[in-house]
Amino acid sequence: EVQLVQSRAEVKKPGESLKISCTGSGYSFTSNWIGWARQTPGQGLEWMGIIYPADSETKYSPSFQGQVTISADHAISTTYLQWSSLKASDTAMYYCARLSAKAFDVWGQGTMVNVSS
Amino acid sequence: QSVLTQPPSVSGAPGQRVTISCTGSSSNIGAGYNVHWYQQLPGTAPKLLIYRNNNRPSGVPDRFSGSKSGTSASLAITGLQAEDEAVYFCQSYDNTLSGSDVLFGGGTKLTVL
């Protein structure tokens, strides 16, 4: 079964760093781009960026460029979404999803990030 | 504010037909990019419902169909069922200086009366 499994929910304080993960299985992980999206109640789904795990080529949404870092370790079929200094406004559900023929055909279960002092 | 515009909500009674629109522009849907649709049931991750305008992944009932014309696309659901109550998102791409960016619509909450 093709699946993406994300890391557990996180509770952090403003200014702290965080790295969440998304691990694929059931397919050749280096064959597909993986995207990250943010979901908040007021903003719906926002695309953050995509990465090609085979060579770590990355493309960011202009809204998230410089705010987060997307990386990958294809040896362990995992991509990461990282913040160096969290803000309260980063509180959201984050999803990874596999890109196939330009559509996101497999989604992770989501990682809730709560940033509060 | 999403570049792909969807109605915030639609509703229908069981058995009825509803449509959800996704309106873009000449730089995205009108530029020829395909539109994909996702269903997000309460408390779950989005799920691919329609890809490349009008194709259903394996397991998606044929009650769901998609279409695209000009700068807009639509998702139609016939024979509405209670379990169809969810949020529906459209997705496409937008031309940028560096290529193309992923776009999501703002989402439409479907209520089954």
Distance CA A70, CA A13 (A): 21
The 10s digit of each residue's pLDDT in B38-73 is 999 999 999 999 999 999 999 999 999 999 999 999
Cα radius of gyration (chain A): 13
So what's the pLDDT on residue A43? Answer: 72
Given pLDDT bands bounded at 50, 70 and 90, which one contains residue B96?
A: confident
Strand partners, B99: B96
Task: Please give the single-letter amino acid code of residue B13.
Answer: A
Q: In chain B, which residues have their Cβ closer than 8 Å to the Cβ of A102?
A: 33-34, 36, 52, 93
Asked if residue B100 has pLDDT above 90, the reply is no
A59: closest chain B residue by CA: B101
Q: Check A103 against B91: CB less than 8 A apart.
A: yes
CA dihedral B17, B66, B60, B11 (to 10 degrees): -30
So what's the pLDDT on residue B3? Answer: 85
CB atoms within 10 A of CB B69: 10
Distance CA B33, CA B27 (A): 9
Alpha-carbon gap: A89 to the closest alpha carbon of chain B (Å): 17
Q: In chain B, which residues have their Cβ closer than 8 Å to the Cβ of A50?
A: 102
Number of residues written out for chain B: 113
Q: Check B104 against A110: CB less than 8 A apart.
A: no
Distance CA B45, CA B39 (A): 9
Kindly state the average pLDDT of the residues A64-84.
96
Kindly state the average pLDDT of the residues A74-103.
96
The 10s digit of each residue's pLDDT in A35-62 is 999 999 767 899 999 999 999 999 999 8
User: Could you tell me if B65 and B57 are in contact, meaning their C-beta atoms sit under 8 angstroms apart?
Assistant: no
